[in-house]
Amino acid sequence: MTTQRPMFLWRKAVVVGVLAMAIAPTIPLVVVGVTASTDATLWSRSFVEALLASLLLAASVAVLCLAVGFPLGLLAGLYRFRLREFLILLQVLPLLLPSFLLAIGWSSLASLSWLPRFFIPAGFWGTAMVLGMQSVPLVFFTTLAACRNLTATQIDAARLHGGEPTVLRSSAGACCLPAVLAAILAGVLSLSDPGAALILGGRVVAVEILTSFSSLFDFSLAARQCLLLAGLVILLVLPLLVLGLRAFAVAVLARQTRAPAPYVHRGLGRVTVFALMAALFIVLGIPAVGLCLPAVNNPMLGRASQEIERTIGQTIVYSGVAALIAVTLATGLALAVRESVSWRLATVGVLLALFTLPPALGALGVVQTATNGPPQMDWLTRSQFTVSLVLGLRFLPIATLAMMRAVGSLSTTWTDAARLHGVPAARFLGRVILPILKPSLLVSFVLVVVLSSADVTTVLLLHPPGRMSLPVALFTVMANSPEGLVASLCLLYLGGVTLLILVLSLSLKWLPGRVR
Amino acid sequence: MRPLVTCRNLVWHSGDHQVLDRLDLDLEGGESLALLGSSGSGKSTLLRIIAGLEMPERGEVLVDGQLVTQGARLVVPPHRRQLAMLFQDLALWPNLTAAGNVALGLAGLRLSRRETRTRIGDMLAWCDIPELANRLPGTLSGGQQQRVALARALSMRPRLLLLDEPFGGLDLVTKNSVIHEVAKLKRELSFALVLVTHDPAEVRSLCDSLAVLDAGRIADRGRLDDLSAATLRSTLGQAFTKLLAHS
């Protein structure tokens, strides 16, 4: 008989404390937005047009990544095929790159005069295509996780009943809701991403906010625009969270069931391999070719290496500390809400809502605090640690979902046995829980390292003078540097992330335990 | 004589369903009680309440005359109740070796290093698995895992062993061997036990008394030798007694 156990007070304190920390950076901006006055009109024609364009962009991104990611995730989850683990792992790459990097690759194809113009994405639809394809992994991995949470007997029964069409139909039915929610999440996230639109010429609201802050130097206008966007996001996300959060959490967080083993089906296995490789070719291969063109024509690997040498240390510090903060808080949260379904759902809901907010909201909030705060607080509001802290809190939801999934697969009777034997909590954590969670901790850590390395908005707004990260340096030089340098930097970045992911997958094979 | 465990007036709900309804139960020291009941009748919950892993909404639990649980208040924590439990899934910590499992199971007793080493050696020898000390649970057979779980449970020298259907996943030969091991250890260490099961053979080999849980209360209770289908009130008790007679 399963029961929902009551939450201890210390667990509630941990959850409330961490969630308050995650929300804190956004609060100063809310205060400013409500009280400050601005000379520029918030509802200018260009801003309203950008806002409408952003909404259409979000819808297009959601449709595109759902149309590609859902069938791919379903096939990869259900069938066995050659190089399965490797091909699945590579799908994560687009998600870990700054969107402007892929956009630069696509736009570089314009130098090929023989290539038809319609083939090169540009403007609004080009931005939608690049962001949509880049978001495919979000839907792909959500569907894959939902597939792994179907029970083996469910799949066996469907297979016996009507063969593969029934398996696909019933699995699609069971996994479609979380996939749709992931697609909508991808669409909402695209509202705050200025990278691709800046390169491809799409007029979206994220670019307007960046322009208000970086070019017009109107903090108050940027704050109000940011708040408006945040309000819009909340309006879009809240009903979805209320309606679909339970289904999303059930599908994405681990359950203690026997997961279906991938089934050997020659035809569908081949189709899956082809589809996964085609998706990778379109999302990564073509932009990589685009990046190679200027890099080959005008190789500037020397200067690119210098640029990387100048910024890589800082990038590692920002992302490493951010990952440490995110994973520590996420592990605490996951362990604290482990035994209560309602607290788990509430935590996932709050974190997902926070994650969909524009990253500029938190960063500008910290800028505001730094401006008005006493100099004694500079270590918290103007330092390298500030950047790491805000990045860590930004990617806390991702780390928390990963850790909740891992913690959810731990047996509750292990804890019962420890209580019966009077094993001190710290000793049990150190000897049993953390060693078992080691692979998941590593995955969460690397995920946050790579995601926060790719972040531009937060670092751009918060970095102390002369302490840029690599993507921010790239973002800054791309407007006024030779194409060869920009392309070389992008290629090196792409290669570095790929290498990191491959090293991670190899090191996981050496670690005892498993990642669900 | 004072009972080893006394449950008084226990009430427990699962959602809207009342699982335990003012349940009373006494267990004598050294007694081996088989606890029967249909699925969802609250057998495991009762065991968990006695162990202190679950709190009742009302009622109290006394161990050796001392109040250990009063309503939803935990008076004595689980590890101070001098009892151990074999879980349905055994609950072995998968990243620790057999010896590591026993060693961490002794953490609450605050023994010296030498005492801990001696106790681990004794328990593994008692359970006939000294050669498995350095093996991880995942590399052991079902029967070997049962013995490791038993060694860990008995390492605390409990006065009461709670067994929550722990033999379910074993083949007949292994199950017989493990049950005989438990019976032998019970004779040597003279602990009381409560066994939740549906298997007459397990009851015949390990228990000397029987209780049937029905509609949230103990419907039938008595010594195995004295029970007959005619004297039992519950349908399950009557059916089980017939099965027991034929086994």
| Residue A71: band (very low, low, confident or very high) from pLDDT cuts 50, 70, 90 | very high
DSSP-derived secondary structure for A372-430: HS-GGGHHHHTSHHHHHHHHHHHTHHHHHHHHHHHHHTS-HHHHHHHHHTT--HHHHII
For A192, the domain range is: 48-290
Asked if residue A253 has pLDDT above 80, the reply is no
- A contact test, residue of B43, B104, B157 with most A CBs within 10 A: B104
Percent of chain A with pLDDT over 90: 38
Size of interface A-B (CB pairs under 8 A): 79
Find, in chain A, the residue whose alpha carbon is nearest to that of B154: A421
The span from the CA of A477 to the CA of A483, in Å, is 10
Statement to judge: residues A334 and A242 lie in one domain: no
Choose the final residue of a domain: A260, A290, A320. Answer: A290
- Provide the 10 A C-beta neighbour count for residue A42: 15
| Model confidence pLDDT, tens digit, residues A434-459 | 999 998 999 899 889 988 988 888 89
Statement to judge: residues A32 and A58 lie in one domain: no
pLDDT reported for residue A2: 43
| Residue A37: band (very low, low, confident or very high) from pLDDT cuts 50, 70, 90 | low
Statement to judge: residues A28 and A96 lie in one domain: no
| Residue A513: band (very low, low, confident or very high) from pLDDT cuts 50, 70, 90 | low
| Residue A256: band (very low, low, confident or very high) from pLDDT cuts 50, 70, 90 | low
B104 with A413: Cβ contact below 8 A: no
Statement to judge: residues A384 and A503 lie in one domain: yes
- The CA R_g of chain A, rounded to the nearest whole Å, is 23
* Residue position matching structure tokens 């510090």: A317
Q: Which of A237, A248, A238, A241 shows the shortest CA–CA distance to A176?
A: A248
Find, in chain B, the residue whose alpha carbon is nearest to that of A422: B108
Average pLDDT over residues A197-210: 87
Statement to judge: residues A60 and A29 lie in one domain: no
Measured between CA atoms, how close is A88 to chain B, in angstroms?
27
Residues of A in contact with B93 (CB under 8 A): 414, 417, 431-432
Instruction: Tell me whether residue A280 is in a domain.
Output: yes
Measured between CA atoms, how close is B43 to chain A, in angstroms?
9
pLDDT reported for residue A22: 94
* Beta-carbon-side half-sphere exposure of residue A392 (alpha carbons within 13 Å): 24
Average pLDDT over residues A503-512: 75
Amino acid occupying residue A268: L
Statement to judge: residues A360 and A460 lie in one domain: yes
Find out whether A102 and A94 touch, Cβ atoms under 8 Å: yes
Kindly report the CATH number assigned to the domain that includes residue A232: 1.10.3720.10
Measured between CA atoms, how close is A146 to chain B, in angstroms?
25
Asked if residue A307 has pLDDT above 70, the reply is yes
Instruction: Tell me whether residue A353 is in a domain.
Output: yes
Residues of B in contact with A416 (CB under 8 A): 48, 53, 85, 87, 91
pLDDT reported for residue A374: 86
93-122 in chain B: CB under 8 A from chain A = 93-96, 104-109
Statement to judge: residues A370 and A232 lie in one domain: no
pLDDT reported for residue A13: 92
Nearest to A424 among B40, B42, B107 (CB): B107
Nearest to A416 among B87, B94, B106 (CB): B87
Instruction: Tell me whether residue A295 is in a domain.
Output: no
pLDDT reported for residue A3: 46
Q: With an 8 Å Cβ cutoff, is B45 touching chain A?
A: yes
Statement to judge: residues A305 and A263 lie in one domain: no
Amino acid occupying residue A62: A
Statement to judge: residues A350 and A495 lie in one domain: yes
Instruction: Tell me whether residue A354 is in a domain.
Output: yes
The span from the CA of B102 to the CA of B121, in Å, is 10
Residues of B in contact with A417 (CB under 8 A): 85, 87, 91, 93, 105, 152
* Residue position matching structure tokens 């359950």: A255
Look up the ipTM and state it: 0.92
Statement to judge: residues A261 and A135 lie in one domain: yes
A443-462 per-residue burial string, b: 16 or more CB within 10 A, e: under 16: bbbbbbbbbbbbbbbbbbbb
Within chain A, how many helices (H) and strands (E) appear?
25, 2
List beta partners, residue B17.
Answer: B14
Both tokens of A305, joined, read 């290496």
The span from the CA of A230 to the CA of A225, in Å, is 9
Find out whether B81 and B93 touch, Cβ atoms under 8 Å: no
- Residue by residue, what is the 3-state secondary structure of A14-51? HHHHHHHHHHHHHHHHHHHHHHCCCCCCCCCHHHHHHH
Structural domain tally of chain A? Answer: 2
Asked if residue A138 has pLDDT above 50, the reply is yes
Work out the end-to-end distance of chain A between its first and last CA atoms, rounded to an integer number of angstroms.
25
Q: Which are the contacts of B233, defined by CB distance < 8 A and separation ≥ 6?
A: B219, B220
* Alpha helices per DSSP H over B58-141: 98-105, 113-126
DSSP-derived secondary structure for B35-61: EEE-TTSSHHHHHHHHHTSS--SEEEE
pLDDT reported for residue A1: 47
Instruction: Tell me whether residue A42 is in a domain.
Output: no
Instruction: Tell me whether residue A173 is in a domain.
Output: yes
Choose the final residue of a domain: A224, A256, A290. Answer: A290
Instruction: Tell me whether residue A485 is in a domain.
Output: yes
pLDDT reported for residue B21: 93
Statement to judge: residues A92 and A197 lie in one domain: yes
Measured between CA atoms, how close is B226 to chain A, in angstroms?
32
Measured between CA atoms, how close is A420 to chain B, in angstroms?
5
For residue A196, report the phi and psi dihedrals to the nearest 5 degrees: -65, -40
pTM here is 0.84
Statement to judge: residues A128 and A276 lie in one domain: yes
| Model confidence pLDDT, tens digit, residues A481-506 | 888 888 888 888 889 889 988 888 88
Find, in chain A, the residue whose alpha carbon is nearest to that of B149: A417
| Model confidence pLDDT, tens digit, residues B210-219 | 999 998 999 9
Structural domains in chain B, CATH included, are 5-82+159-246 (3.40.50.300), 95-157 (no CATH)
Average pLDDT over residues A340-369: 88
Asked if residue A516 has pLDDT above 50, the reply is no
Percent of chain B with pLDDT over 90: 69
Choose the final residue of a domain: A261, A290, A319. Answer: A290
* Residue position matching structure tokens 């156990």: A5
Instruction: Tell me whether residue A266 is in a domain.
Output: yes
- A contact test, residue of B20, B95, B116 with most A CBs within 10 A: B95
Nearest to A421 among B54, B87, B156 (CB): B156
- Provide the 10 A C-beta neighbour count for residue A14: 18
Task: Give the E-state strand segments of A146-245 in sequence order.
Answer: none
Most confident range, picked from A104-118, B47-61, B165-179: B47-61
